[in-house]
Amino acid sequence: MPPLRFFLQISVSQRGLSVTEFGLIAPILAVMLMGVLDMGHTLYMQSVLQGAMQKAARDASLETGTQSSIQAAIDASVTDQVQKLARAATVTISRNNFRDYSKAATPAMEPFTDTNGNGTCNGGEPYEDSNNSGSWDTDNGRTGQGGAQDNVVYVAKVVYPRLFPLMRMVGLPVNVTLNASTALINQPYGDQASVTIRNCP
């Protein structure tokens, strides 16, 4: 076959074109597919975590929720539900309680009478010891479940390896970090602890 005819046949040949196109498109398609699956898994994990937190907070708001063994069982239930979706997930749970809901929504300093106008509780100024710590605090919350009628902010942080480790090739971190929180009022199974009025040093 003359060389000129051979090159003309190659230039018009369609054989192998589909394989070449697929080879160019397949990696991009695979990365997009993994990204969609990874995002879907993350969104599903977030909804499961939030639902588990809501149930856990309702269970903890009962009078029995003040017992450390019950709190541990409630926390273990949240961890178990998360680890059904991601076995290697680490779950960190914390509770902070506040005397009323407005303080739980926007944790702030304990209220005080600023007689000298310097914005700091000092010079014997009276303040409301909301968390009964014995001193004036810039955060009026207390760690733990609290007591009757206290407002509790229940927070969980979940860290787990990404569903597809290859996603770090497109700049995503190796681990996924999710946060969920809910706030509920403990049931009125008793009288709420009284607030102590103290004086700043």
Q: Find where tokens 């049931």 sit.
A: 187
**Position 180 pLDDT exceeds 90:** yes
What are the domain boundaries of the chain? 16-199
Alpha-carbon distance of 29 to 37, in angstroms, equals 12
> Tens digits of per-residue pLDDT, 20-36?
778 888 888 888 888 88
> Tens digits of per-residue pLDDT, 24-76?
888 888 888 888 899 999 999 999 999 999 999 999 988 888 888 999 999 99
The mean pLDDT of the chain is 82
Q: Find where tokens 């700043």 sit.
A: 200
**Position 9 pLDDT exceeds 90:** no
**Position 88 pLDDT exceeds 90:** yes
Backbone phi, psi, residue 60, to 5°? -75, -20
Q: What is the DSSP letter of 30?
A: H
Q: What is the DSSP letter of 132?
A: -
Alpha-carbon distance of 195 to 26, in angstroms, equals 66
